[in-house]
Chains A and B, each alone.
Chain A
Amino acid sequence: MEELKNKVRELLKAGTVQAVIGYRAGSDEKTARVAFVRQPDEADGLILDPRCTDNLAVYLLKPEVKLLGKLAIVARPTTARTILQLASENQLADGQVIVLGVSADGKAVVELASFEALEKFVGQVPAGLTEEEKVLLAKIEGMSREERWAFWQSEFARCIKCYACRAACPMCYCSRCIVESNQPQWIPVSPHDEGNLEWHLVRAMHLAGRCLNCGFCAKACPMGIPLNLLTQRLAEEAKAAFGAVAGGSATGEYALSMFKADDKEGFIR
């Protein structure tokens, strides 16, 4: 922890960066929230503990945050993977941010100024689901088709189309989301059952092979819809079918931008 604070102070003092995105204590003892540290002495307020789960990479593309100047960001492996994935999608340039990589156990902090260093840091450890989520996923997969339909319908019916899931997702950085294009209006604006289903399927497809499974979407969803399971299911499929895992490298290929001549096609007549 001290190590992190020192690094942050150093970076700010030296003027290497103008702001550091990290975690600080939140409203209560159970929550942590983002900190935008701009003065060396503000580093004291930084924390790093199991509360700190938000995928802060979402802030790297926020215009207001970009205006702060050059950024450093405290990144657990998932955030680090997100940064690499964003890089592979041309949203971040090498050297644009300094990553303060936090090891999985939360102890060691390493300064990673290049994507190459970041790639080494993340290795091959994509985030998995939590135990609870695994159980739920297995449960859904074990259902009959009709049950799955009923399950998801009851979940989707609650969706209010606030798009908090989208706002929280660092990979949903489109300047105009498909739901906001109205010529044609692919997806109804209103949160009724048909539109909700379409929204959820579209969102999941758009994240297929890109989702880092940070779980921020599900956390953000005020209606408690376990929508990260959809993207995670697709991540599993992309891995199984194409060996594609998001976030491994800054030059990684998007599973749907490429193909192999022998991709499976048993389902095609």
Chain B
Amino acid sequence: MSDEKTLDLLEAKIQELRELNKVDGLDLSAEISKLEKKLAQMRTELYANLADWERVRIARNTKRPYALDYIGAIFPGFYELHGDRMCGDDRALLTGFAELDGRKVAIIAQQKGRDPAENKERYFGMARPQGYRKATRMMHLAERFRFPIISLIDTPGAYPGLESEEKNIGGAIAASILSMLEIEVPTIAVIIGEGGSGGAVAIGAADRVLMLENGIFSVISPEGAAAILWKSKERVKEAAASLKLTAPELLDMGVIDEVIPEPLGGAHKDIVQTASALKQGLIHHLDELSEKTIDEIMAARYERYRDVGRYSTLSD
């Protein structure tokens, strides 16, 4: 990643020149313009054909916009509903009502923390059973009021700990998937960062699945795969490449419906632009779904998931 560091340095340098340009009245415009072109070129080279492992790093970049950043940009009136009505309020998984350009929707979103304190509160975006039960509650509430559901996925996975097992995390995820499949409203899932395993799929079994360009969606983390299959944590890059966990690959395989473009370098380079692209994608798919009857939606949803998988049929 030394190349990315170079880019960051160059970017900082340009910024300094810009300040200088303003403050002292010096005319550095030509130099700045040259450097900007250089930077853009380097960026294109670096990011245009990102290796899978680099995408993993971008997806996990702590500067990356998280769910609440997109919610703030796309759903300004987000009205959060807390609590699973059972035992807790999971801060790694948020639910609420919002409007998308005039359309009422329900939001289910996984949220990471920005600093150690927030990460402690949000368990690094790893939801516990109370989070998935809150999501399930939200699904049924949305169904009652016929609000489509938009879920924003960004999790390393469900929280792996004693409390999760004590509260039946397996059952909570299974129930959440079941509800996603059964509720009779349109559903759209977006993988905005990490789509980690069962913890992601629990709220991802939607009518449309979108992914940000640098999102990842995988059955296991590259680290986990490396440890299990290569018996070496060093082999993460190979694991990442083998898992085909990037948005373009998943689109190719027909598993997701659309890739939302990010600026070069990743969403954090321009959140306004990324959010705007995401918003357009959401509106587009929501409008498409809204033109169907709920019976058509339910039939298509069933077919989509009934048929997912790849196998060979033997000859007679």
Our verdict on whether A and B bind, yes or no, reads no
Chain B residues proximal to chain A, CB less than 8 Å? none
